[in-house]
């Protein structure tokens, strides 16, 4: 059964339709990447999947249940979101922020127990942030803060994780470490991952399928080999690129070209 299903979604804020009649399914344990130019509707689509925004037409379901019928707290037990970097207004410590991930799972008295602290510790260990546990979130760099938000999502122990450009501020070591971690959880724990990313090569490396969005329409969806082609990229991004095969993985590899790109040009 599809874990996430979107059926004929149409959505607009105030003006024109931002998502136009969009349908797709995600299987349990799938790693789906969403790519597309700025303004194509990627973040909006994540908000619809998470139930933070409701489409004016069509519907989405989670595990076969229409999301309108699922309570906010219950959605948070199933779906965790790692947003783009956002400054925190209050000065929580790193551990307090990660502990917030446990909120949907707490009992009626809302107290955290030993197991919650163990899960939080593990999430901080996996994201390499234990050394900052007692520091204020506002004292961290953008990349460090992002790892805290990732740890908070892992502490939520979701079935589905939604990533919105979550690694954009990370250096390459932490970018790869993060995607490796998510891929392992995806393989071993059947965590379903839906990741918006600008990095087409990262999508090619890690995703089972990729959705290419353009102006609120699915231009195409399929394996990286089917979607990441010179023609599709030209049609959607209006940019010439070179697409060849990554010599290690065999997946498509995109090289950006500029009008001055020639061999030996520095």
Q: Would you say 38 or 86 has its CB closer to ligand ADP?
A: 38
In degrees and rounded to multiples of 5, residue 77 shows phi and psi of: -80, -20
> Per rule CB under 6 A, is residue 33 in the interface with ligand ADP?
no
Structure tokens at 141: 């760099």
Residue 34's SS3 state is strand
> Per rule CB under 6 A, is residue 142 in the interface with ligand ADP?
no
Nearest to 132 by CA among 152, 154, 153, 147: 147
Only segment of 40-48, 198-206, 218-226, 231-239 that touches ligand ADP (CB under 6 A): 40-48
Q: What is the b/e burial string over 129-149, where b = at least 16 CB atoms within 10 angstroms of the residue's CB? A: beebbeeebeebeeebbbbbb
Residue appearing with tokens 């689509």: 45
Q: Would you say 160 or 196 has its CB closer to ligand ADP?
A: 196
Q: From the CB of 41, what's the least distance to ligand ADP, in Å?
A: 5
Only segment of 33-41, 55-63, 170-178, 257-265 that touches ligand ADP (CB under 6 A): 33-41
Only segment of 36-44, 67-75, 94-102, 201-209 that touches ligand ADP (CB under 6 A): 36-44
Structure tokens at 162: 């939604």
> Per rule CB under 6 A, is residue 43 in the interface with ligand ADP?
yes
> Per rule CB under 6 A, is residue 41 in the interface with ligand ADP?
yes
> Per rule CB under 6 A, is residue 163 in the interface with ligand ADP?
no
Going by the DSSP 8-state scheme, the letter that residue 93 receives in this structure is: B
Report d(CA 179, CA 124) in Å as an integer: 16
How many chain residues touch ligand ADP (CB under 6 A)?
Answer: 10
The total number of residues shown for the chain amounts to 266
- Residues forming contacts to ligand ADP in the complex (CB under 6 A) are 13, 18, 36, 38-44
């Amino acid at each position: 059964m599809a874990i996430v299903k979107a059926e004929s979604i149409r959505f607009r804020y105030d003006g024109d339709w931002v998502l136009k009649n969009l349908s797709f399914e995600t299987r349990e344990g799938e790693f789906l990447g969403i790519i597309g130019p700025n303004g194509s509707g990627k973040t909006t689509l994540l908000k619809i999947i998470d139930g933070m925004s409701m489409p004016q037409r069509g519907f989405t379901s989670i595990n076969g249940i229409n999301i309108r019928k699922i309570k906010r707290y219950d959605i948070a037990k199933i779906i965790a979101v790692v947003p783009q970097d956002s400054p925190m207004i209050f000065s929580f410590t790193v551990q307090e922020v990660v502990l917030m991930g446990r909120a949907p799972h707490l009992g009626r008295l809302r107290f955290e127990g030993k197991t919650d602290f163990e899960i939080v510790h593990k999430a901080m260990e996996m994201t390499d942030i234990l050394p900052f546990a007692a520091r204020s979130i506002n004292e961290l760099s953008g990349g460090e803060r992002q790892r805290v938000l990732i740890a908070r999502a892992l502490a939520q122990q979701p079935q589905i994780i939604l990533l919105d450009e979550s690694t954009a501020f990370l250096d390459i070591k932490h970018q790869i470490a993060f995607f490796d971690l998510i891929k392992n959880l995806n393989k071993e724990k059947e965590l379903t991952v839906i990741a918006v990313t600008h990095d087409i090569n990262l999508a090619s490396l890690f995703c089972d399928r990729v959705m290419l969005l353009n102006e609120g329409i699915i231009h195409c969806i399929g394996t990286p080999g089917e979607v990441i082609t010179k023609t599709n990229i030209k049609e959607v991004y209006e940019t010439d690129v070179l697409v060849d095969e990554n010599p290690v993985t065999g997946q498509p590899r995109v090289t950006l070209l500029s009008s001055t790109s020639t061999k030996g040009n520095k």
